[in-house]
Amino acid sequence: MIDFLRGVIRDRAHLRKDYLELLQLSIVYLVGWFRAPGAYHQARWMAKAIYSLMIALFSQQMQLTRLEKRRVQRLAHFVILI
């Protein structure tokens, strides 16, 4: 999946900056490094996808229950893989 995402970024197959940010955050989540997020389009689903990945990335700094952490991880996996 990481190779695929990097290939999409390299080939510039995405059309807008919000897609680029989603692809970059997906890579961040999968490999564990962080790059500060930039501006994104106001599409509701895109914003939710981006925030879901950010919550997953910062979940260890938040006070979440075990169930909440598991659900955040499942949502992040869904966003990245689907």
- Give the C-alpha separation, 73 to 38, whole Å: 22
For residue range 32-48, list pLDDT tens digits in order. Answer: 755 555 554 556 677 88
Domain ranges of the chain: 2-81
For residue range 1-57, list pLDDT tens digits in order. Answer: 888 888 888 888 766 788 888 888 888 888 875 555 555 455 667 788 888 898 898
Q: Residue by residue, what is the 3-state secondary structure of the chain?
A: CHHHHHHHHHHCCCCCHHHHHHHHHHHHHHHCCCCCCCCCCCCHHHHHHHHHHHHHHCHHHCCCCHHHHHHHHHHHHHHHHC
Cβ-contact 49, 22 below 8 angstroms: yes
